[in-house]
Amino acid sequence: MTHSTKSWAVVPAAGVGKRMNADRPKQYLKLSGKTVLEHTLLRLLNAEIFAAIAVAISEEDPYWPELEVSTHEKIITAAGGKERADSVLSALKSIRTLASDNDWVLVHDAARPCITATDIHHLINSLVNDEVGGILALSSHDTLKNVQGNRIVGTLDRSHIWRALTPQMFRYGLLKNAMEAAEGNPAITDEASALELQGLQPKIVEGRPDNIKITRPEDLALAQFYMEHQND
Ligand code: C5P
């Protein structure tokens, strides 16, 4: 990274997390005394590489102002949107007067609190000279089936299949343009897919399997286990 190029983080945190069946959005459930969102943000802050972190928060969210980290000098709050992609675009727009087109943006799910500095630095070091940018991902160990109804209609060649994680890292200008061009398209479930629609091929960088996304109730205990056993 040259001295003039900054790095920014964008954290979509405006989801409701229906699959958790909890009384509040999953990013506000607690792990070792702190909310999932606090863990995620503290880990990004502790990486000490971001000029600021833009966090997309739902306008009806009563929990965010209660968190001490919400007033941290490096945290910028943006309005969340209907879908994840809308929240990401809103956060990107919130830093438009601060970020240059050539700066890097790392978009990271609020629901991935086990992200490590090792993975963040591995991603950055792998992409710093890349034209397009890329994402952390994991290869699939399971055999993958194409299913219609409840019947298998095919088996995918898993040697070509990767699971997309976050952070996903792209140049600010390229990412914002791609997200604007893809606005309203339900197929855009991550940033890389918006870049793919532009005909670009983001790079795959192998990530750590402990960077899980909290989705179901049992994931909280697993995240807690990983956090207790991570020492980097
Ligand atoms: O629901 P899912 O786990 O795919 O959400 C991924 C991330 O996107 C979560 O951190 C969630 O808070 C965020 N999100 C958002 N705005 C939405 C929907 C999801 O910021 N409208």
Q: Residues 129-177: pLDDT tens digits?
A: 999 999 999 999 899 999 999 999 999 999 999 999 999 999 999 999 9
Residue-level pLDDT at 201: 98
Average pLDDT over residues 5-19: 93
Structural domain harbouring 134: 7-229
Cα–Cα distance for residue pair 124/66, rounded to 1 Å:
32
Residue-level pLDDT at 20: 86
Predicted model pTM: 0.96
Distance between start and end Cα atoms, the chain: 22
Residue-level pLDDT at 9: 98
Domain assignment present for 122: yes
Q: How many structural domains is the chain composed of?
A: 1
- Tokens 């969210």 belong to 61
Give the tokens for residue 32: 């070792």
Domain assignment present for 142: yes
Domain assignment present for 108: yes
Cα–Cα separations (whole angstroms), residue 163 to 140, 175, 194, 195: 7, 20, 16, 17
Domain assignment present for 1: no
Task: Pick from 11, 43, 84 the residue to mutate for probing ligand 1's pocket: most ligand atoms within 8 Å of its CB.
Answer: 84
Give the tokens for residue 209: 């399997």
Average pLDDT over residues 102-116: 98
The CATH number linked to 40 is 3.90.550.10
Cα–Cα separations (whole angstroms), residue 137 to 5, 88, 134, 187: 25, 19, 9, 18
Cα–Cα distance for residue pair 25/18, rounded to 1 Å:
8
- How remote is the CA of residue 183 from the centroid of ligand 1, in Å? 16
Domain assignment present for 134: yes
User: Which of 159, 7, 18, 14 has the alpha carbon at shortest distance from 78?
Assistant: 14
Domain assignment present for 35: yes
pLDDT band per the 50, 70, 90 thresholds, residue 3 = low
Cα–Cα distance for residue pair 97/51, rounded to 1 Å:
13
Give the tokens for residue 6: 């900054």
Domain assignment present for 70: yes
- How remote is the CA of residue 153 from the centroid of ligand 1, in Å? 31
Q: Flag whether pLDDT at 86 surpasses 70.
A: yes
- Where does ligand 1 bind, in terms of residues with CB under 6 Å? 12-15, 27, 56, 80-84, 87, 109-111, 213, 215
Domain assignment present for 15: yes
pLDDT band per the 50, 70, 90 thresholds, residue 6 = very high
